[in-house]
Amino acid sequence: MLDGRTAKRLSDALLDAFGPQRLDELLFYRLSKDRARITMAGNYESIVFDLIRAADSEGWLDRLIVAARQSRPAHDGLRAVASGRELVGAEPGGLESILSDRMPDIHPVRWRARLGELEGQVGRLETGGRPLGTGFLIGPDLGLTCHHVIRRVAPEDARLRLDYRADATGLAVFAGVTVRVVAFEQVADDVALFRLDRPVGEEPIGEVGEPSAATRGWIEVKPAAAVQGDHLVVLQHLAGGPVQMRFGQVAGLVDGLLRHTADTEAGSSGSPCFTLDWTLVGIHQGGEPVHESWRRPEHNRAIPISSVPRG
């Protein structure tokens, strides 16, 4: 059952993020529910209270939280509630301290708001439901990944899964939206540009969206470079699971590749790498080669975004 503190935080977040009409639209379009069948309370605060109580008792509270975040991905209060129920990528403890120590001019609330937007623009590449790696949108129907992630798959067999969310038990709350890949081409050393069968970047986040929902958007590719000592944030589908965030640091530039220390696993190849101000600087490729099979690489490698042709 939902504890009183979390219920209050969720109530405050919903009251702040939605008005009565927009909340009704959220329920109808995203959850196929009629608010009038849940509550006929006369004031908005009572409506929200009754809604949360019904969702909790009937077992669709996590779906409500995820749907609200999909509609308002940049809302910090909704993210905080989702984080408390482990419905978002794990954040390191003391995030505010990390940000202020490493880049003092970053405002944590605005930083998290941008993170909420970016989570909807990073997806899992898969074939037949089997994860291949990570990819990210750079246009309405265009994305980037590592070429080795999809080179052995026919384009028509590949899919990009967006908005995949699971609860603390690992059970899918939202399986996400799958978009068919129709073509890809190698545009740089181990970099592939893929095209989707529809402009998902111009659609609302989630399988369906209400008229007032924010659109998904995409990550802008601009000339940028990271240097040794820069702190990195990598958004990745670790082992094919929901998108996760990991911090690391640039250890240098070797053979034209960025060496970095962010934790990664299978499924991370193709992930976008950002500096702490959310500037895209690379595409995670994999761990550095090691000669002994039992050893873990000391560093990972990322392809600098500056090596990817634009236009």
Domain boundary among 158, 173, 202: 202
- 131, 197: one domain: yes
Q: Are residues 126 and 197 in the same domain?
A: yes
Residues 16 and 75 in one domain: yes
20-32 tens-digit pLDDT: 999 999 999 999 9
Q: Classify residue 244: in a domain, yes or no.
A: no
CATH number of the domain that residue 160 is part of:
2.40.10.10
pLDDT number for residue 294:
45
Q: Give the CA dihedral 280, 282, 284, 289, nearest 10 degrees.
A: -160
Averaged confidence pLDDT in the chain: 89
What are the helix (H) ranges across 59-143? 61-71, 76-84, 95-102, 108-119
Q: For residue 244, is pLDDT > 80? A: yes
* pLDDT classification of 292: cutoffs 50, 70, 90: very low
Lowest-confidence range among 26-40, 45-59, 67-81, 253-267?
253-267
* Domain co-membership, 74 together with 131: no
Q: Which domain holds residue 146?
A: 121-202
Q: How many separate domains does the chain show?
A: 2
Residue 86's pLDDT band (boundaries 50, 70, 90)? confident
CA proximity to 160, closest of 191, 184, 189? 184
Last residue within a domain, chosen from 157, 172, 202: 202
Q: What is the mean pLDDT of residues 202-209?
A: 88
Do the Cβ atoms of 39 and 47 come closer than 8 Å?
yes
Question: What is the C-alpha to C-alpha distance for residues 290 and 298, in angstroms, rounded to an integer?
Answer: 9
At residue 231, what are phi and psi to the nearest 5 degrees? -90, 140
Predicted pLDDT at 104: 61
In a domain, residue 31? The reply is yes
Rounded average pLDDT over 137-158: 96
